[in-house]
Amino acid sequence: MENNPLDQILPSPNKGKGPGRPSTPSPNPAPETHATREILKQAKADLKHPDPKVRIISVKYYLEKSHLSITMPLLQEILSDPDSGVRAQALSTLVTFGSPIISPFLKKHLRDPDPMVRMVALKGMFRFKEKIDLNLLMQFLSDDSPWVRRKVATLLGWNQIEGVLPILVEMSKDEDPKVRKAALFSLVTLYPEEGVQGLMETMTDLDPDIRNWARDQLNRMLERPATKATLFLSR
């Protein structure tokens, strides 16, 4: 599937140690030196820099070094930054380091006005195995960003969450072909019979690329040893 430029904010779960298991940096930072303390002090001061690009760099460095000791008021201030890039970087760094203090903020930022921040929060929810309310996921069926809808469809395929079949079926009919493709891929992964049915229906999709992709998927299934999906195809 095509790369999403927004995914560069947070390492993809399918890299490193397998689906859903990104490599996690050590929670124990290296011993501080005087130079490190001075850089950290400057990074903290730069959290209020007028240039958001400087704040993004400062947030990344400061949270990497201080995520175990940062005060809640300062964290709230960072995550309320008016620049979406700063908010996304803060969430991403804390999620990458597995910092438990981020959990209360993930659900809040699922409703962030910027799609990049919503995507990072979604990844964090799945990364931390937070209990995900299906009603909360339903809101993304009508998210105004196709990148966010596609990310939801993809993440659902990497995780076993009971009751997501209706969501994936609905997303497989999304107006955006890339969202439909991601939903179908997850359907085949989690619900083989429903996934095959979806692929067969996609053979008449208006988008030629997704039609060709569906045909290739079905042909590959027929070449594999018997599975639930291939047995369904042979009926």
Do residues 119 and 140 share a domain? no
Among 130, 145, 179, where does a domain finish?
130
146 shares its domain with 114: no
Is the four-CA dihedral 140, 76, 99, 15 of positive or negative sign? Answer: positive
- The letter for the amino acid at 203 is M
How many helices (H) and strands (E) the chain has is answered by 13, 0
Domain finish residue from 130, 151, 184:
130
Same domain, 142 and 124: no
What CATH number is associated with residue 171?
1.25.10.10
Rounded CA separation 84/24 (Å): 24
In this structure, the answer to whether residues 110 and 150 fall within a common structural domain is no
DSSP state of 11: -
Q: Which of 76, 107, 130 is the last residue of a domain?
A: 130
125, 168: one domain: no
pLDDT digits (tens, 9 = 90+) for 210-235: 999 999 999 998 887 655 555 454 45
Task: Give yes or no: residues 216 and 145 share one domain.
Answer: yes
Q: What is the DSSP letter of 140?
A: G
For residues 85 and 195, membership in a common domain is answered with: no
pLDDT tens for 121-134 read: 999 988 876 677 78
- Structural domain boundaries enclosing 39: 1-130
Query: Do 104 and 45 share a domain, yes or no?
Result: yes
**Domain tally, the chain:** 2
Burial of 3 (0-12, 13-18, 19+ CB in 10 A): exposed
pTM reported for the whole predicted model: 0.76
Same-domain check for residues 15 and 44: yes
| CA gap 101, 104 in Å, rounded | 7
Angle at alpha carbon of residue 166, lines to 161 and 171, rounded to 5° = 100
Query: Do residues 185 and 107 both lie within one domain?
Result: no
Compute the C-alpha angle 209/213/215, nearest 5°: 120
How far apart are alpha carbons 178 and 143 in whole angstroms?
14
How confident is the model over 73-100, as pLDDT tens digits?
Answer: 999 999 999 999 999 999 999 888 887 7
User: Are residues 214 and 104 located together in one domain of the fold?
Assistant: no
Complete DSSP assignment for 155-191 = HHHHS--TT-HHHHHHHTT-SSHHHHHHHHHHHHHH-
CA distances from 226 to 181, 196, 222, 233 (A): 24, 14, 8, 10
Q: Are residues 147 and 110 in the same domain?
A: no
Nearest Cα neighbor of 97 from 175, 202, 23 is 23
pLDDT of residue 128: 79
